[in-house]
Amino acid sequence: MSKYLELNYPSLDEKIICAKHRSGLEVRLIPKKFSSGCAVFGTRYGGKDNCFKLEGEEDFSVMPEGVAHYLEHKMFESEDGTDPFERFGRYGTYANAFTSSNVTCYHFTSTNNFLENLRILLDFVSHPYFTKENVEKEQGIIGQEIKMGDDNPNRALYYMLLNSLYESNPVKTKVVGTVESISRITPELLYRCYNTFYNMSNMRLCVSADITMDEILSVCDEFLEIKPQKKIIRKTFEEKEEVNVKYSEKKMSVSKPIFIVGVKDNFKSDNYTERYRRNIASNIMMNVLFGQSGDFYNDVYKSGLINDFDFDADFSDSYAYCAIDGKSDEPEKAYEKFLTCVKNAKDIIKREDFNRCKIASIASIIKSLDSVGVAQAEFRTSIFGTELFDLINLYREVTFEDVISLSEELFNDRYITMNVVKPLKGDY
Amino acid sequence: MFERKQISEGIFFNCISDLRFKVNMISIKFLLPLEKENNAPRALIFPVIIGGTENYPTEKDLNRYLEEIYSSTVSSSFNRLGNICIENLNAVFLRKKYIQDETDVETGVLNVLEDMLRHPVLEGRAFKKEKVETEKMHLADSERSVINNKGKYAVNRCMEQMLSDDDFGYPPNGTVEDIERTTPEQIYEQYLYMLEHARIEVFAAGELDFGKYCAFVKELFSGVDRKYEDNLSVSPITDHVRKVKRINETDDVAQGKMVIGFRTFCSSVDDYSKTAPLIVGMNLFGAGSTSKLFNNVREKMSLCYYCSSFSVMDKGLMFIQSGVAKENEKKAFDAIMEQFENVKKGDISDGEIENAKSDAVSDLVGAFDYLRGVISWYFVKTITGKSYDKELLVNYFKGVTKEQIVESFKSIELDTYYFLCGGESNE
């Protein structure tokens, strides 16, 4: 009998071992017998969390855009001058980090000396070292990262979508910030953010490797201190129900217009599993309507109305939306076709198609579990309180009626926005 | 466990038993000499074929069936190993133990593959015109839209200039014009030519019955009148650079995109004793976050967000790519070349060498944790005539010395410099 909580999923041949380290850190282990092992150490802190305070504090701190991402870059500085990349490099370990709107993650994949690599990870993420010089040095590098993003039409389109969907939701904040906003970042601001969000109770460590929980926790003992747990209060915002902007467009160097249609979902719940359940229903609904076995996809593919057609249903703790995107010489016509489809969604979605898409969705998830990369997926779900393999049960629970009623609720003109990036030249 | 069997002239079955995965994978590969004039029709064969068969006439019918058999996928890709063009038809499906009911997914997938290769939808002696026109439109669009990704566009432009005299430098799917003038008859001719003349390497990996798959492969090509000739050649670049090319172009970009191409005179067909030092040397020069380029051009000089190398080992080429501000063009180029000279001079620490060796070993070992990586290893070794024993290469990596790295870098020649930046358009 294991001394840790074991969640078993016999039909998947998988299990998740759960433990809470005495520092307050929740740890998850998905055992896998591959040559590689992967660890993800991250915090529920991303590009949208720019206005916050700790319980007991009077005023909210307002941070410049891009500070979470800047902090992620600067975590690779150490007081003794050692470079975490150099330390990982000794073992040929691939290490990296990323910041999204919702989380910041540090991760590695190694093929040897897993515990030594885990030591490096926990060591550098738990020891910030910010000075005026090292903070200033990063402005050139991140400035170029921002410029690289400016040349990416798909990224431009993504932020146009978020701005069109939301009037005040901070998810529309650019994760990397702007050249101007990052120029206001100081070591003091970075320490303030670090001390708030890099508290173990706001973090999570997820591992997939051929290793035991005892071994992981003993490495945690070496580096993670017991500090008072603090409650973080993020400033709440009022978001209107309808979209912020019905239509937006921009010109860039692209071969033909690219577009994204977004549908705002105003679903509210503090229970993350409920939000997941909603997202899964949205995914199945979008799959039936826009997937490769449906009429919409096959019509636009055959006629060439849309190239590189794709669809998505995204969500987090404070937002949710569905979207379709692609390239089209006639984006207005593509938009009209979308509107016609969603207005008739109730008649289009058949029980047989729903059942087939549901089985296919579950099979796709099982197919995606074949690498130590599951540690990343487990982090993304469990930091918000849902274990990865439980998603399969949530899929099984979604009913045809759930999807029909969702389509009736969502596909309303007030919640739909169209966004286009057009070429600089040509009659578009 | 790896087993290889010749099924008939130029047709081989390769079986990799590996029970670590939840899926099985099949990859049917057709190999022909690269001929640039045939790039477009060949690139269109599988997109047309996987869009419908006699049993599943439309893409929608086929996709529905594949979803029913537990989201099995059949996809195609068209790539190259040096001057060998490779048409791939790939299938991935769940193993039996992960299927909750009696559905025979494996048989379903094998039937679909057979149907695609033996019973495509035809109109006389050509593929269906309507389907061909749709695929031509999508392929041409994807060629035109390379400009949407400026980094990739810059790499393509550099490679085209570098290999202007070699079929490898020609757009892999043909130009937009080639695609537009391709006819349903030409694609069908190329399809027949492929079945009759190509070397065919079928790979299956996962939980498999070797005998059953051998029989499947035999049956799959049983009606084909084979005219196989063993004339494949990777053809790495062996000529010296006569004059360095320098190309500056403009577009509406916020950040300049720099690509520098080199000839290495060492390629996938060479012995491990020659390739291992070059791979370790390229790692320490430009690959990853412990390399000289990352530490100096990015970290010390703050000139860029990315500055890294990648290689096209089959042709014996190395590239550096970086996104830099227009005003820093010269500074960045000089900094990159300074690091290149430092490797040639042997200005390399023991730590750098150890890191670079560990990287090479990790990349190799880690690739075996993916079915695709496992298949790729056995496939490339088969074509280049190398040992299948990965420990052999691991030992070569571990034994690389500083002198060997310097030696391999001394042979490298700068070939082409390309810079794309904002400014007045040339048009």
Q: Which domains does chain B have, with CATH numbers?
A: 2-220 (3.30.830.10), 245-421 (3.30.830.10)
Under an 8 A CB cutoff, do B68 and A298 touch? no
Beta-sheet strand order (sheet of B23-33) = B2-8, B11-17, B199-206, B23-33, B84-94, B73-81
pLDDT value, residue B350: 96
How would DSSP label each residue in A358-412? Answer: HHHHHHHHHHTTSSTTHHHHHHHHHTTT--TTHHHHHHHH--HHHHHHHHHHH--
Structure tokens at A313: 């249903």
Cross-chain CB nearest to A144 (options B21, B299, B304) = B304
Q: Which of residues 272-301 of B touch A (CB under 8 A)?
A: 288-290, 294, 298-299
For testing the chain A interface, which of B22, B24, B56, B142 should be mutated: the one with the most A CBs within 10 Å?
Answer: B22
B306 shares contact with chain A (CB less than 8 Å) = yes
Kindly identify which residue of chain B lies nearest to residue A296, measuring between CA atoms. Answer: B60
Nearest alpha carbon to residue A172 among A161, A157, A156, A186 = A161
Any idea what the Cα angle at residue A48 is, between residues A43 and A51, rounded to 5°?
Answer: 95
Kindly identify which residue of chain A lies nearest to residue B369, measuring between CA atoms. Answer: A34
Q: Select from A179, A212, A234 the last residue of a domain.
A: A234
Is residue A272 domain-shared with residue A402, that is, in the same domain?
yes
Q: Select from A234, A265, A291 the last residue of a domain.
A: A234
Rounded to the nearest angstrom, the minimum Cα separation between B255 and chain A is 6
Cross-chain CB nearest to A370 (options B21, B299, B366) = B21
Tell me, yes or no, whether A242 lies in a domain.
no
Residue B98 contacts residue A12 (beta carbons within 8 Å): yes
Kindly identify which residue of chain B lies nearest to residue A365, measuring between CA atoms. Answer: B71
Rounded to the nearest angstrom, the minimum Cα separation between B216 and chain A is 24
Residue B143 contacts residue B173 (beta carbons within 8 Å): yes
Rounded to the nearest angstrom, the minimum Cα separation between B95 and chain A is 10
Alpha-carbon span A385 to A382, nearest angstrom: 5
Cross-chain CB nearest to B289 (options A85, A252, A258) = A85
Task: Show the domain range for A403.
Answer: 247-423
Under an 8 A CB cutoff, do B144 and A255 touch? yes
Structure tokens at A112: 């040897």
Cross-chain CB nearest to B325 (options A144, A293, A371) = A144
Q: Is the pLDDT of residue B299 over 90?
A: no
Rounded to the nearest angstrom, the minimum Cα separation between A86 and chain B is 6
Q: Please report how many Cα atoms fall inside a 13 Å half-sphere around the Cα of residue B263, on the Cβ side.
A: 17
Beta-sheet strand order (sheet of A232-234) = A61-62, A51-54, A232-234
Q: Which of residues 205-234 of B touch A (CB under 8 A)?
A: none
Under an 8 A CB cutoff, do A356 and B144 touch? no
Phi, psi of A83 (to 5 degrees): -110, 120
Under an 8 A CB cutoff, do B63 and A292 touch? yes
Nearest alpha carbon to residue A264 among A239, A289, A291 = A239
Place B427 in a pLDDT band, splitting at 50, 70 and 90. Answer: very low
B176 shares contact with chain A (CB less than 8 Å) = no
Query: How far is the CA of B166 from the CAs of B35, B171, B178, B239, in angstroms?
Result: 10, 11, 17, 12
pLDDT value, residue A229: 83
Tell me, yes or no, whether A241 lies in a domain.
no
Nearest alpha carbon to residue B281 among B271, B260, B268, B266 = B266
Is residue A163 domain-shared with residue A256, that is, in the same domain?
no
Number of residues assigned to chain A: 428
Structure tokens at B56: 């599943």
Alpha-carbon span B383 to B31, nearest angstrom: 10
Rounded to the nearest angstrom, the minimum Cα separation between A184 and chain B is 18
Q: Is the pLDDT of residue B425 over 70?
A: no
Is residue A107 domain-shared with residue A150, that is, in the same domain?
yes
Tell me, yes or no, whether A418 lies in a domain.
yes
Chain A hits for B63, CB-CB cut-off 8 Å, are 291-293
pLDDT value, residue B305: 87
Nearest alpha carbon to residue A374 among A26, A40, A9 = A40
For testing the chain A interface, which of B50, B71, B258 should be mutated: the one with the most A CBs within 10 Å?
Answer: B71
Estimate the share of chain A in helix, then strand, then coil, as percent rounded to the nearest 5: 45, 20, 35
Under an 8 A CB cutoff, do B145 and A255 touch? yes
Under an 8 A CB cutoff, do A140 and B144 touch? no
Give catalytic residue positions of A: 72
Is residue A226 domain-shared with residue A259, that is, in the same domain?
no
Chain A hits for B95, CB-CB cut-off 8 Å, are none
Chain A hits for B22, CB-CB cut-off 8 Å, are 12-13, 366-367, 369-370
Q: Which DSSP category does A241 fall into?
A: S
For B115, residues 6+ apart whose C-beta sits below 8 A from its C-beta are B53, B54, B55, B56
Residue B267 contacts residue B315 (beta carbons within 8 Å): yes
Cross-chain CB nearest to A89 (options B138, B146, B290) = B290
Chain B hits for A254, CB-CB cut-off 8 Å, are 145, 147-148
Under an 8 A CB cutoff, do B254 and A147 touch? yes
pLDDT value, residue A1: 59
Place B129 in a pLDDT band, splitting at 50, 70 and 90. Answer: very high
Alpha-carbon span B66 to B37, nearest angstrom: 34
Tell me, yes or no, whether A240 lies in a domain.
no
pLDDT value, residue B30: 98
Residue B101: count of CB within 10 angstroms of its CB: 6
Under an 8 A CB cutoff, do A255 and B141 touch? yes
Place B55 in a pLDDT band, splitting at 50, 70 and 90. Answer: very high
Is residue A358 domain-shared with residue A415, that is, in the same domain?
yes
Residue A220 contacts residue A50 (beta carbons within 8 Å): no
Alpha-carbon span B250 to B419, nearest angstrom: 8
Q: Which DSSP category does B315 fall into?
A: T
Alpha-carbon span B244 to B418, nearest angstrom: 11
Is residue A313 domain-shared with residue A291, that is, in the same domain?
yes
Under an 8 A CB cutoff, do A293 and B137 touch? no
Average pLDDT score, chain B: 95
Q: Select from A204, A234, A264 the last residue of a domain.
A: A234
Rounded to the nearest angstrom, the minimum Cα separation between A152 and chain B is 7
Q: Is the alpha carbon torsion for B363, B366, B372, B376 positive or negative?
A: positive
Number of residues assigned to chain B: 427
Query: How far is the CA of B421 from the CAs of B147, B162, B283, B323, B425, in angstroms?
Result: 13, 19, 28, 10, 10
Residue B74 contacts residue B66 (beta carbons within 8 Å): yes
pLDDT value, residue B289: 84
Alpha-carbon span B371 to B358, nearest angstrom: 22
What average pLDDT does this structure show over B327-340? 96
What average pLDDT does this structure show over B288-314? 92
Is residue A200 domain-shared with residue A255, that is, in the same domain?
no
Tell me, yes or no, whether A69 lies in a domain.
yes
Under an 8 A CB cutoff, do A370 and B290 touch? no
Under an 8 A CB cutoff, do B305 and A141 touch? yes
Is residue A210 domain-shared with residue A297, that is, in the same domain?
no
Q: Which amino acid is at A394?
A: L
Q: Which DSSP category does A183 fall into?
A: T
Chain A hits for B254, CB-CB cut-off 8 Å, are 147, 150-151
Under an 8 A CB cutoff, do B366 and A111 touch? yes
Kindly identify which residue of chain A lies nearest to residue B97, measuring between CA atoms. Answer: A11
Q: How many domains does chain A have?
A: 2
Structure tokens at A28: 């998850």
Q: Is the pLDDT of residue B144 over 60?
A: yes
Is residue A181 domain-shared with residue A293, that is, in the same domain?
no
Is residue A133 domain-shared with residue A251, that is, in the same domain?
no
Residue A322 contacts residue A262 (beta carbons within 8 Å): yes
Residue A114 contacts residue A37 (beta carbons within 8 Å): yes
Residue B112 contacts residue B49 (beta carbons within 8 Å): no
Residue A36 contacts residue A208 (beta carbons within 8 Å): no
ipTM of the complex: 0.91
Q: What is the pLDDT along chain A (428 residues), one digit of tens a residue?
A: 579 999 999 999 999 999 999 999 999 999 999 999 999 999 999 999 999 999 999 999 999 999 999 999 999 999 999 999 999 999 999 999 999 999 999 999 999 999 999 999 999 999 999 999 999 989 889 988 898 888 899 999 999 999 999 999 999 999 999 999 999 999 999 999 999 999 999 999 999 999 999 999 999 999 999 888 889 999 989 999 999 999 999 999 999 999 999 999 999 998 989 999 999 999 999 999 999 999 999 999 999 999 999 999 999 989 999 999 999 999 999 999 999 999 999 999 999 999 999 999 999 999 999 999 999 999 999 998 899 999 999 999 999 999 999 999 999 999 999 999 999 987 77
Is residue A102 domain-shared with residue A164, that is, in the same domain?
yes
Tell me, yes or no, whether A330 lies in a domain.
yes
CATH code of the domain containing A150: 3.30.830.10
B347 shares contact with chain A (CB less than 8 Å) = no
Cross-chain CB nearest to B20 (options A34, A293, A357) = A34
Tell me, yes or no, whether A391 lies in a domain.
yes
Kindly identify which residue of chain B lies nearest to residue A353, measuring between CA atoms. Answer: B64
Spell out the alpha helix ranges (H) of B148-223: 150-162, 176-181, 184-197, 210-220
Is residue A269 domain-shared with residue A226, that is, in the same domain?
no
Tell me, yes or no, whether A257 lies in a domain.
yes
Rounded to the nearest angstrom, the minimum Cα separation between B220 and chain A is 27
pLDDT value, residue B424: 52
